Amino acid sequence: MEMIATTCVYCGCGCGLFIHVEDGRAVGVSPNPAHPISRGRLCVKGWLAADFVHHPDRLRAPLIRRGGRMVRSSWEEALTATAERLKEIREEAGPGAVGVLTSAKGTNEENYLFAKLARAGLRTNNVDHVARLCHAPSVAGLGAALGSGAMTNPIRGLLSSDAILVTGSNTTEQHPLVAATILEAQSRGAALIVADPRRTQIASLADHRLAPRLGTDVAWINGLLNLILEGGLADEEFIRERTAGFDALKDSVSKYTPEVVEKISGIPPRDLEAAAAAFGEAPRAAVVYAMGTTQHSNGTENVLALANLVLATGNLGREGTGICPLRGHQNVQGACDMGALPNVYSGYQKVEDPAARGRMEAAWGTDLPPAPGLTAVEMMEAAKEGRLKGLFISGENPMMSYPDRGLVGRALESLEFLAVAEIFPTETTALADVVLPAASFAEKDGTFTSTERRVQRVRRAVPPPGEARPEVEVAAALLRRLGVPAEYASPEEVMAEIASVTPSYGGISYPRLGTAGLSWPCPDPDHPGTEILHKESFPIGRARFFPVDLLAAGSDPEYPLLLTTGRSLFHFHTGSMTRRTPLLDRELPKPAVEMNPEDAAALGVRSGGGVVVESASGSLEVEARTTDSVPPGTVFFPFHFAEAPANLLTAADLDPRSKIPEFKRTPVRIRRL
């Protein structure tokens, strides 16, 4: 049996594992004991990460729609049809009429080449990916405050923390190996503060639990900071030497007294005071957050409030401190780093900056468009209105993951041409004109960048099924058909090009990555990588405080409950891989909406009974499950299940700064079936 060292395909922890191979088949997985993040451990999804690889549903040959039916084609025919149709649309309707959605499940090399396909091949900046739906507010908020939207400190550094604030993160279920590290830190004496409207497992283990009402983060974070400042617990030297704008911040948070915070958030003053003392008095404190913080129409303001907290307490640039946005997919960080975003090239070089654009034009040998393109959800709106006519999607399933599924369906159906590269048939491939069978993580070489900025190797363990191909080959073939030179003998050569045009990846090369990988910035081949950001200075000189306020959210008597969506331990995102992993699907085989017993009793709903959930966007029928882990007035529903897609109910209400949609607070009503 061979054991191939690679990186887990699921969450952003980026655990190292071995795929066990016998007779050309992946037969199992075990943890890599030498890996710096996972340290010989995996969560249940990691142990089962190879179980979907040989599933009979895998796409094995290219398909083209003819006479309303998908029929088998050759690669030559499918690639040529894709390149020619996108080119025709661009020539007839302009470059704004075409777009590319890449995937945070794809490698860095794939994301880089698909961004290049959009910009150099199709001459459009309409390129985006799932980060728009998860950490766009981190890129916008932390970028503005600190000069970088990335996690500042390594996961293992949490072991040195004296206090850890976890907010908007169901860490034990969604980033289990980060949770294991947090709980190890707690067992060594760190105070664990958890803020979440739901009583998640990590919330139930907290030393200080805050249970704010949905959507009130800015109020309680400002209130926490106000108490810290009033208690004389600010780091005055850090504020004086390394930041700007503190006086305006201090003034702005002063109105968030414990009583005001209680009125807005429901958090009792004594709980807020205890949490403020635990965080403010800790010599080294860290903040960990995820999509409960970001997936709001004020997501950027939530992130800015957390940035204010770590800046005012001087909790940056040192071991055991930091602000840690946990990425949901294993390569959200890398896909952003690679410029799969409408406003930046790789390394966050702005498309509007003539110097950066000039460098990329010289490297890619072509003129590039100067204005930022459309974001992911804006592309759906543009498609519905007929402004976007041709779309290439790599490894994404917008029919399940984007808000307002009804709108997304109308948008994708309105396109003149849709091509999708995927490993399994999905609700989105069902609408495509061309489907290209892709290799899974176990069947290709490349790199992923974990949530802590660690660039790590992905290694081919087994051959792809049938005619499926790694998407590096797909992107390169499309680039060549669009007249852009793209002769890469291997993904390693793509990484060499990435390093040559991306200052923060300048010293990254496959031979240097080994088992531990390297954390960026790693600007040259002798650089050891950077585990802790902002040690001496910020990329913007002084970090900036941004005062933020909470606009009071009204209630809607027609839709009196608030729906919050999320994920479960046993499934990943739209379920295309985990629902084809028998042991995971056995644990959670069907959807259920979680309701507090009080709400259920008031509506005459019993646990296990059917209900109709309705919002202004749509309605669906599903089973109800009563649990007091959700507070009265709130219902929770995971979005993994095609038979009851939660995003039928959500709306495309966007945060104006980051353009992330509101997934965490949708007014709904429920009635018994």
The answer to whether the CB of 479 falls within 8 A of the CB of 494 is no
| Distance of closest approach, residue 636 Cβ to ligand SF4, in angstroms | 21
Among 123, 126, 121, which residue's Cα sits nearest to residue 481? 121
Q: What is the 3-state secondary structure (H, E, C) of 446-484?
A: EEEECCCCEEEEECCCCCCCCCCECHHHHHHHHHHHCCC
Which residue, 131 or 261, has its beta carbon nearer to ligand SF4? 131
| Distance of closest approach, residue 171 Cβ to ligand SF4, in angstroms | 10
Which residue, 442 or 649, has its beta carbon nearer to ligand SF4? 442
Which residue, 32 or 297, has its beta carbon nearer to ligand SF4? 32
Among 310, 312, 324, which residue's Cα sits nearest to residue 169? 324
Q: Which residues pair with 565 in a beta bridge?
A: 637
| Distance of closest approach, residue 326 Cβ to ligand SF4, in angstroms | 10
Which residue, 42 or 482, has its beta carbon nearer to ligand SF4? 42
297: tokens are: 């129409």
Identify the sign of the CA torsion 356, 359, 361, 367.
positive
- Angle (CA) 175 178 544, round 5°: 100
| Distance of closest approach, residue 17 Cβ to ligand SF4, in angstroms | 7
Calpha distance 648→614 (Å, rounded): 9
| Distance of closest approach, residue 38 Cβ to ligand SF4, in angstroms | 6
CB burial string 328-350: b at 16+ within 10 A, e below? bbbbbbbbbbbbbbbbbbbbbbe
- Angle (CA) 498 501 504, round 5°: 80
Which residue, 6 or 295, has its beta carbon nearer to ligand SF4? 6
Which residue, 10 or 345, has its beta carbon nearer to ligand SF4? 10
Residue 541 backbone zone (phi > 0: left; psi -120 to 50: alpha; other: beta): left
Enumerate binding residues for ligand SF4 (CB under 6 A): 8, 10-11, 13-15, 38, 42-43, 45-46, 175-177
Calpha distance 170→194 (Å, rounded): 10
Which residue, 135 or 175, has its beta carbon nearer to ligand SF4? 175
| Distance of closest approach, residue 587 Cβ to ligand SF4, in angstroms | 14
Give the DSSP H/E element, type plus range, for residue 70. Answer: strand 69-72
Indicate the burial class of 585 (C-beta count within 10 angstroms; 0-12, 13-18, 19 or more).
middle
| Distance of closest approach, residue 170 Cβ to ligand SF4, in angstroms | 13
Which residue, 42 or 543, has its beta carbon nearer to ligand SF4? 42
| Distance of closest approach, residue 46 Cβ to ligand SF4, in angstroms | 2
Calpha distance 344→20 (Å, rounded): 39
| Distance of closest approach, residue 570 Cβ to ligand SF4, in angstroms | 11
204: tokens are: 């139930």
Which residue, 43 or 595, has its beta carbon nearer to ligand SF4? 43
Residue 67 backbone zone (phi > 0: left; psi -120 to 50: alpha; other: beta): left
Of all residues in the shown chain, the one whose CB is closest to ligand SF4 is 46
Which residue, 9 or 276, has its beta carbon nearer to ligand SF4? 9
